[in-house]
Amino acid sequence: MTYCLAIKVREGLLFASDSRTNAGVDQLSTFSKMFTFGTEGQRVFTVLTAGNLATTQAVIGHLQRDIRKGVEPNLNTVETVEDAAHYLGALSREEQAKHSAGKIDTSASFILGGQITGSPPLLCLVYPEGNFICATDETPYLQIGEVKYGKPILDRIIRQDTPLGEAALCALVSMDSTTRSNATVGPPIEVMVYATDQLRLDRHFVFTADDPYLTDLKLAWDMKLKEAFTELRRYSWQPVESRAADQNASQADIAPSVGAKRNR
């Protein structure tokens, strides 16, 4: 499995990916799922991948080959980030189709984000079908792979005015919730921080499992969540007889009856 996410805030773009792949539970491997393209000062793209590894590797290889051989379109010549997403989607469909005759699911999803001189940064999620959606001010993050465990913290923290560094930290916390609950998502965790108009991808970070900052963050977040939990106001959880005078309490059944119950 995989967990990748990307965030588009006013300050720029943020990408994060895990590095664990599995073909059955007895075949775990480590592969990077973050790839960069572009020319400093002119255009930059970061691509995150999820799904069938043969498909994603073929697509990334195809993107690289098209640039090397000058095939049109390629990521060095597309006019917009949307055009790049459209092109990536077409390559993905093509690669999936080559091997889709068997029983194996060859589908793959991608997040592509970046900036081309003269236009604002853009973030797109390319579906297995080749079509895509872009992040907006209202929905500033996109996820692919095992997306559910890490979604609640993003929903709470990420807004379009969240500073880029805070978005990066939130991505790490989201990744931590996912790696704790799903054994097929794991380190190294890669993070790419891109500030608008920088047109340079020099803030790429790789956190291995024993990275001191990541280890400390996991412990600190766990401790703080537990602290936050202990600080919540307790409910009485007493039978309704004992709470007759408690106006705030919920009403409850007095005793069980066969298959019946009374709610307020």
Residues 122-161 that bind a second copy (CB under 8 A): 148-149, 151-153, 155-157
Q: Least Å distance between CB 236 and a second copy? A: 8
Q: Least Å distance between CB 228 and a second copy? A: 4
DSSP for 67-111, written as a single string: HHHTPSS-TTT-SSHHHHHHHHHHHHHHHHHHTTTSSS---EEEE
Give the per-residue contact string, 33-52, with a second copy (x = CB under 8 A; - = no).
-xxxxxxx---x--------
| Rounded (10°) angle between helices 212-230 and 164-181 | 80
Q: What is the Cα–Cα distance from 201 to 194, expressed in whole angstroms?
A: 6
Q: For a second copy, give the closer residue by CB, 44 or 85.
A: 44
Q: Is residue 117 a contact residue for a second copy (CB under 8 A)?
A: no
Q: For a second copy, give the closer residue by CB, 100 or 204.
A: 204
| Subset of 175-204 contacting a second copy (CB under 8 A) | 177, 180-181, 188, 190-191, 193, 200-204
Question: How far is residue 235 CA from its own chain's centroid?
Answer: 35
Q: For a second copy, give the closer residue by CB, 100 or 218.
A: 218
Q: Least Å distance between CB 68 and a second copy? A: 8
Q: What is the Cα–Cα distance from 194 to 105, expressed in whole angstroms?
A: 33
Say if residue 212 is preceded by a cis peptide, omega within 30 of 0: no
91: left (phi over 0), alpha (psi -120 to 50) or beta: alpha
| Subset of 208-237 contacting a second copy (CB under 8 A) | 208, 211-213, 216-217, 220-222, 224-229, 231-235, 237
